[in-house]
Amino acid sequence: MAPVRNSFLVFGSPDIREEEIAEVVDSLRSGWLGTGPKVDQFEKEFKAYIGAPYAIALNSCTAALHLSMLVSGIGSGDEVITTPMTFCATANAIVHTGARPVFVDVERKTLNIDPDQIQKAITPRTKAILPVHFAGRPCEMDPILELAQRYGLLVIEDAAHCIEGWYKGKKIGNIGDITCFSFYVTKNVITGEGGMVTTHHESYADKIKMYGLHGMTKDAWKRFSDEGYKHYQVVFPGFKYNMMDLQAALGIHQLRRVEENLIRRNEIWKRYDEALAELPLTRPAPVEPYMIHARHLYTVLLHIDRIKKSRDQVLNELIRENIGTGVHYTALHLHPYYRQTFGYKPGDFPNAEYIGERTLSLPLSPKLTNEDVEDVIKALKKVLG
């Protein structure tokens, strides 16, 4: 039987337009490829969009998470509470500070960290809570902030999926102590690789900017500008985490279309909700009225017992129909490193494990045509019967 599509539909294919291409070419012609005026412009526009007083561009969300913890004093012997239902970068950034990632289970309905489980994991070594706004759905931040205040903990948000999100009238990026965003190639705003930190704390912002460029004094990139040479001082053994102008050239135009793209993402989301209602799967839960979902991932949970196929079987059958999908995620505590290093084992976080066995993310790029969306639906109906 012929596949649903003749050509392969790439999962998470970015929507790159002529404005981005022209901006990158302008950077190439200017000769300024590294951290320079376009990074500065992108930071200013992102800061205005989020509404935070400080925004620092970096080369990845991983770098953003790592520096956020370093500048807030998290280090060897400390513990950071987070979710096992996330990409490994969330936990790895904790490990790179010398601290221990302490996982707590998620809510099966929202796929986000369960606030009711956090308090049980707090010890005298706990320094921070690191919630992840999974798929673009904001976490329940009020109980998390209440726990943080009660126990004197930092709240560092992983908002890699949640640039457009809002929680109870507050834009994501203005709630916790520090918020980290991703501009990876599959995200809602892309720079290829890239990240951003927002915060209301000037001291954190200054340190993140400095630590992200070798520990050199603030605005060291200006030493090659037409303002005249500026000597720099190294005041910390920093990292090579800075964003390039070539990346920011993409981000400037991507950010300007983010709300327009959200309208298209919502259209696709609504079509999936309607078309998949009768299939043997659980669709994403409705969004609470006090939230705005960033619509980064449309993630379904397959009823594998009913369809008599594993998630991976379904994924591979969809590939044969020329439909690309994603897996977000296999629960982190089941990966060899975290089991061997921290002693996690199957059964520790049953909701995360349940999700990890059944989760499948469908294409949701604003680049999708209506025909592309219908092909995804046809393929799912064909594969799931």
What's 217's DSSP letter? P
- What the block records as the tokens of 314 is 């379904």
Among residues 264, 379, 247, which one has the least CA distance to residue 323? 379
Q: Is 187 a catalytic residue?
A: yes
The runs of H, that is alpha helices, within the chain are 18-30, 37-50, 61-71, 88-96, 115-121, 141-151, 202-211, 245-256, 258-275, 304-307, 311-320, 336-342, 350-358, 370-384
Task: Quickly tell me which residue has 């798929």 as its tokens.
Answer: 135
Q: Residue 331 and residue 226: Cα distance in Å, rounded?
A: 50
Q: Residue 128 and residue 97: Cα distance in Å, rounded?
A: 13
Catalytic residue among 38, 127, 171, 187: 187
Task: Reduce the DSSP state of residue 221 to 3 states and report it.
Answer: helix
User: Catalytic site residues?
Assistant: 187
